[in-house]
A and B are shown apart, each in its own frame.
Chain A
Amino acid sequence: DAKTTQPPSMDCAEGRAANLPCNHSTISGNEYVYWYRQIHSQGPQYIIHGLKNNETNEMASLIITEDRKSSTLILPHATLRDTAVYYCIVRFSMEYGNKLVFGAGTILRVKS
């Protein structure tokens, strides 16, 4: 799996958009970009994933640059409950038994 680089921490005001960046400059054509988050003492929660196109679901939007070397996760209206560690990972689509490998992630603190 390609390596990703994320800032160690970010702050966001409640109600504002949280934009979490991720660099994955060595990503290959068959690797997806995934985002998970983990709230303290809970299991990781899947947020969103994409290959080339931007994606949106009920939780967030994923913006992938045209060269696919970086992406941004957007939480449109952050709440206090969005405080968590956010992990950006890339996964090869066809690798059998593909395990998840989390890096250090970004600690997002949403403040009132």
Chain B
Amino acid sequence: DVKVTQSSRYLVKRTGEKVFLECVQDMDHENMFWYRQDPGLGLRLIYFSYDVKMKEKGDIPEGYSVSREKKERFSLILESASTNQTSMYLCASSIDRGGGQPQHFGDGTRLSIL
């Protein structure tokens, strides 16, 4: 089974802090994704990566950056956390860059910015 592990289930940070969310997958997948999920807005793609050191912006990249130094690890960085970044953050990985194979998700990190 595919295993996608997010470092924290719950996280509380303060406005202005730099926040790191970590994601690790154990299936040697090339493609990794970061989403946020908010009530009424569904899933929104922040960034994705199709290879080590490669990244591409999703629909809402502002205020975020990512890092992919190793194939199995994809980090999401909130450069200066703000209250509107309070959300559920979901990491996913897939073997396929397109739509022919599923994305597998971690359990999510519920982030609160105070």
Contact = CB atoms under 8 A, between A and B. Distances in A.
B90 interface: yes
B56 A97 contact: yes
Interface in B21-71: 33, 35, 42-43, 45, 48, 50, 56, 58-59
B13 interface: no
Interface string B90-113: 101000011110111111101000
Given A91-B99, A103-B42, A97 B105 contact: no
A32 B58 CA distance: 21
B107 A99 contact: no
By Cβ-Cβ distance, the 6 closest A-B pairs, closest first, are A91-B99, A43-B105, A99-B45, A46-B102, A98-B99, A93-B100
B42 A97 contact: no
A112 interface: no
A62 to B, nearest CB: 12
Contacts of B59: 99
Contacts of B56: 97
A44 B90 contact: yes
A98 B107 CA distance: 21
Nearest to A89: B99
B103 A46 contact: yes
Contact of B102 (A49, A94, A103): A49
A43 B5 CA distance: 11
Given A43-B107, A102-B42, A96 B90 contact: no
Contacts of A46: 102-105
A96 B103 contact: no
A31 B99 CA distance: 8
A31 B92 CA distance: 20
A93 B98 contact: yes
A26 to B, nearest CB: 16
A86 interface: no
A45 B105 contact: yes
